[in-house]
Structure 1
């Protein structure tokens, strides 16, 4: 009886192994994923929504089965790629589908996976001239004191930055990405508060970082960021020192005036 049970279990295992499809590692690789995102982009362009939905779900399954131990990829990059897949799937699954939103998400997704596959000359580098133009238009608006134009152009710069953001996370260090995030937040804050005089230095800062960000090695970008941070640190130290001096002088003046007041008051009335 026991022998029969053992053989039954053994045959069940054989059946399960026979009907289970092995994971094809050739379909769980950056080259295959980039091709899939290109197909999704093409389907979206042709408004073949069902085909695009089927392809994004195939991509999601393949990506979920991937073994990333063979690839040099950060945890942040895996997260941003997963998020890009989910966002595109959600855009395609809306009851009232927005073609422009779906197109944007599909393009963004393709740029991200293209960056994963291509270390040199990824497609997101094509955005350099567009973002450089954004910055030039922002600077022109600041010089002309046109706050509405500046706000519109900064919004446009942010839109383009968000478009390449997943690719940037894959290609660049987290230090660099956080630096640019901080710059974008600062620009948004200054324009919303109407601080036009504070915008130009920040915009020029962004412009100086733009070329090494796109075309320089990571060491050049990091060096530029560290140099700017060193300058900012010195400025902060100088400002801190000036504040201490002003407070010290104010305290000294107050103390001197208090002593003079006491000297003017007769001793008996103190």
Structure 2
């Protein structure tokens, strides 16, 4: 009498397991497609082809909403992807939004999808040098009571950090990000520059150490060619943003995009 329930349970798992595996495989395939589409959005935005980039972003929205991501993506990942393509869809048509901001949205989304889809070598890790390179200048300026350029350099750092922040929520613990946020909030207060040089240097050093520990865990392939950069200047603020993805990833994804090109929505 006991064998029948056991047999039913075994049959249930035999039927369910292939279905679950197929569902996971489908989700992984869709995620790979979204990653490739995010690169298309980035490349089109970089070329100022905003209408075409918008059409791809709308296709991303439709594709993402159609998929059941339960058990595949976390709530944080779902939320960041949704915010990412919504920013692009809202931002690209705005004439008052300059090309740097439009490229920023596309860059953020490209790095975000890469962070979710890739197990190693995240694109956001390639921003380590410009991010960490800000600190020698910041420390020098904060020692000089006559300096008026501290917050110009600080704004460069904040711009870069904001660009990679969505990706960091995927790869870095909330506790670490909260600590970094607290340091940055203190530095952005007007009272910060009125503190002693020792106090200011201590706060900057703590932020530098926390950011350094974030980049220290990035698994990067030294054999890969360096990423190229577009340097966009607005007044004294320099915004560094990705121009190309790692060459090996780009070549592989380009072949797949060519096969899928016929399925892109037409403008």
What is the TM-score with the length of structure 1 in the denominator?
A: 0.65
For residues 148-167 of structure 1, what are the structure 2 equivalents within 5 Å?
148-167=148-167
* CA positional deviation for 1:193: 5.6
State the match for 1:76 in structure 2. 76
2:45 pairs with 1:44? yes
Taking the TM superposition and a 5 Å limit, the aligned residue runs for 1:101-180 are 101-180=101-180
Q: How far off is 1:150 after superposition?
A: 1.5
Matched residue, 1:243? none
Structure having the higher helix fraction is 1
What is the aligned-residue RMSD (CA, Å)?
A: 2.2
1:186–1:54 CA distance, 2 compared to 1 (3 A)? same
> In 2 relative to 1, CA 36–147 (structure 1 residues): closer, same or farther, beyond 3 Å?
same
Relative distance call for 1:146 and 1:106 in structure 2 (3 A) is farther
What is the deviation of 1:55? 0.2
* Cα distance change on mapping 1:196 and 1:96 into 2, 3 Å: same
Residues 91-130 of structure 1: per-residue CA shift (max 9 Å, x gap): 1121445212111111111011111111211000011111
CA distance in 2, matches of 1:153, 1:97: 23
Structure 1 CA distance for aligned equivalents of residues 138 and 130 of structure 2: 13
Change (3 A) 1:97 1:186: closer
The answer for the alignment partner of 1:260 in structure 2 is: none
Residue 173 of structure 1 deviates from its aligned partner by: 1.7
CA contact (8 A) 2:80 2:166 kept: yes
Deviations 1:14-61 (A, max 9, x none): xxxxxxxxxx94696321111101101111111111111100001111
**3-state DSSP of counterpart to 2:70:** helix
Residue of structure 2 in register with 1:216 after alignment: 217
Change (3 A) 1:194 1:155: farther
> Which sections of structure 1, spanning at least 5 residues, go unmatched?
1-23, 218-270
What is the total number of aligned residue pairs between the two structures? Answer: 193
Work out the CA distance in 2 between the residues paired with 1:214 and 1:29: 28
| Matched ranges for 1:199-214 at <5 A | 199-214=200-215
Alpha-carbon distance in structure 2 between the residues aligned to 1:116 and 1:56: 18
Structure 2 unaligned spans of 5+: 1-24, 219-267
Q: Which has the higher contact order (CA 8 A, sep 6+)?
A: 2
* Matches of 1:83 and 1:110, distance apart in 2: 13
- Counterpart of 1:55 in structure 2 is 56
Question: What TM-score, normalized to structure 2?
Answer: 0.66
Greater fraction strand: 2
How far is 1:74 from its partner? 3.0
